[in-house]
Amino acid sequence: MPESARLESQLRGSGIVLAMKQNTKGNNKATRTRVKNDSNTGSGHDIPDDTGGSQMNLPNLITLFRIFLIPVFMIVLLIRIPYGDYLAAGVFIIAAATDSLDGYIARKRKQVTRLGIILDPLADKLLITAALISLVELGRVSAWIAVVILGREFAVTGLRAIKAEEGIVIPAGWLGKVKTVSQIVAIILVILEGLYNTFIPWPIGDWAMYVAVVFTLISGIEYFWRWW
């Protein structure tokens, strides 16, 4: 009898081998239960298994750069300096542009990581939150608008966290993307209101913000309808 078979036979009497096999089988079953394939469920993306790779790649560095720009944006917007609104709008536009850039590079280079999945939506929400709070502080946006938009963001973030525990990453739907674009456009229009209100008498920034609120609510309802 081979040495390995003899050892297994000796251990079987004590139940060690049986326990080890049951534990392995249970772990495999739990893993299959937690992580669902798109091809089988059609409900989300699997969390990438990148534990052996580097998390700090180019897409994640771009996302971190977006987070770094947030305090810069707030300082320039809130302090009274010449052309502060224009500078703040420029910083905000650069930060918002990196939102699409990091995702595009990550998909093209196949560098989607767990860190990126966490950081990217976090950076987006921090940017929008910083902009709305700053504009409320300056009296340019009503507090209820900020509450509605930020409330939706936190609610959807909670939903994503719940699904992440099940091994499912909720992808951004087209309504969510329209919502993000509408918020960015509205914030830029509000910041640059002093640039165009001399020859456009209508409150375009306020109207754009109302449109953003509508898309924010609709997209939030759609997320919970699909994933709850």
Per-residue CA distances from 81 to 56, 84, 86 (Å):
36, 5, 10
Determine the distance from the C-alpha atom of residue 13 to the mean position of all C-alpha atoms in its chain, rounded to a whole number.
Answer: 52
| Selected residue with higher pLDDT from 196 and 15 | 196
Q: Examine residue 100 and state whether it is found in any structural domain, yes or no.
A: yes
Nearest to 204 by CA among 214, 216, 192: 192
**What is the domain range of residue 85?**
47-227
| Total number of domains constituting the chain | 1
- Mean pLDDT, range 4-24, rounded to an integer: 44
Averaged pLDDT score across all residues of the chain = 79
Encode pLDDT of 128-187 as tens digits: 999 999 999 999 999 999 999 999 988 988 888 888 788 787 777 788 889 999 999 999
| CA 111 vs CA 45, 119, 140, 203: distances in Å | 15, 14, 39, 43
Using the predicted structure, report yes or no on whether residue 75 has a pLDDT greater than 90: yes
Residue 9 lies in a domain: no
Task: Specify burial of residue 167 (Cβ count, 10 A radius: 0-12, 13-18, 19+).
Answer: middle
Residue 120 · residue 63 · CB < 8 Å? yes
Is 22 part of a structural domain of the chain? no
C-alpha 35/C-alpha 166 separation (Å) is 7
H or E element at residue 41: helix 38-41
Tell me if 145 is assigned to some domain: yes
Within a domain: 8: no
22 band by pLDDT with thresholds 50, 70 and 90: very low
Decide: helix, strand or coil at residue 45. strand
In a domain, 40, yes or no: no
Task: Tell me what pLDDT residue 167 has.
Answer: 79
| Alpha-carbon gap, residue 215 to 174, rounded angstroms | 11
Percentage of the chain beyond pLDDT 70 is 76
pLDDT bracket for residue 20 (50, 70, 90): very low
Amino acid at 178: V
pLDDT at 177: 86
For 94, residues 6+ apart whose C-beta sits below 8 A from its C-beta are 69
Cα–Cα dist 182/152, whole Å? 14
pLDDT at 169: 74
Tell me the CA distances in angstroms from 65 to 14, 28, 62, 157, 173, one per residue in order: 57, 39, 5, 21, 25
What's residue 101's pLDDT?
87
Per the domain annotation, does 42 fall within a domain?
Answer: no
Which run of H or of E encompasses 82? none
- Residue 103's CATH number: 1.20.120.1760
> What's the N-to-C CA distance of the chain in angstroms?
56
80 is a domain residue: yes
Residue 119 has pLDDT above 90, yes or no: no
